[in-house]
Amino acid sequence: MLTKDKLFSALEQIEDPAKKRLVFTGILSKEIVASGGKKPIIVGGEAVEIYTQGSYTTGDIDIKTSPEIMEEILGVWGFEKVKGSRKIWFNEALDIYLDWQGTGLDEGPEAEKRVNSIRISGDMDILVISFEDLITDRLCAAKFWKDTDSKMWAKALFEIARETGKVDIIYLRKRAEKENVSDLLNNILKNSSIDKNDIKKVF
């Protein structure tokens, strides 16, 4: 297992908080797999930050992974649980918060098959929740939690996914219907520069 000193050495020269979180996530993922665990999946605000290349900023790393292996590694690295919380870990020296969100994606096995692998460096990569499931998550936040900014980020994520060719509109439509946010998704699609042939597949 990577020692605390080596972890700090790898991160201490990184001044940008977003980049530091990204590299830390890559190191943590690599260590969890090396310890026999399933590769973690990044979700929530950290996933939005990664996909938007820092246009969106978050304060913590939302992660889905095995808690036992993760807790052992974080303990070696000097992380402590935030007082009163069972799932948030913090390292003051690194100024990194990690929010454990469970072992697997709530959206189910199909969503886990759709995660995107993103290369951090030559020997490090991370898994990030799919654009479609993340867009749906943001639309739910907008509709049910009254988070108005989430609707804007859902649209931004859709445009990024479309431009990179990584959006499955049929699956996105199915997810939106299941979560009762089709109305918000339809508004994004109608105001998007998406190809009209793809629109016909949706409506």
Q: In sequence order, what are the beta bridge partners of 124? A: 121
Quote the pLDDT of residue 123: 87
Is the distance from CB of 94 to CB of 8 less than 8 angstroms?
A: yes
* CA 199 to chain CA mean position, Å: 27
For residue 194, the model assigns a pLDDT of: 54
CB 111 within 8 A of CB 105: yes
Give the β-pairing of 116-121 and 124-128: antiparallel
Please state the φ and ψ torsions of residue 23, each to the nearest 5 degrees: -65, -40
Give the CA diameter of the chain. Answer: 56
Q: What is the pLDDT of residue 193?
A: 61
pLDDT in tens, the chain (203 residues): 899 999 999 999 899 999 999 999 999 999 999 999 999 999 999 999 999 999 999 999 999 999 999 999 999 999 999 999 989 999 999 999 999 999 999 989 999 999 999 999 888 999 999 999 999 999 999 999 999 999 999 999 999 999 988 899 999 999 999 999 999 999 999 887 654 444 333 33
Q: Which amino acid is at 29?
A: S
Indicate the residue type of 31.
Answer: E
Has domain 4-128 been given CATH number 1.10.10? no
**Domain range annotation of the chain:** 4-128, 131-202
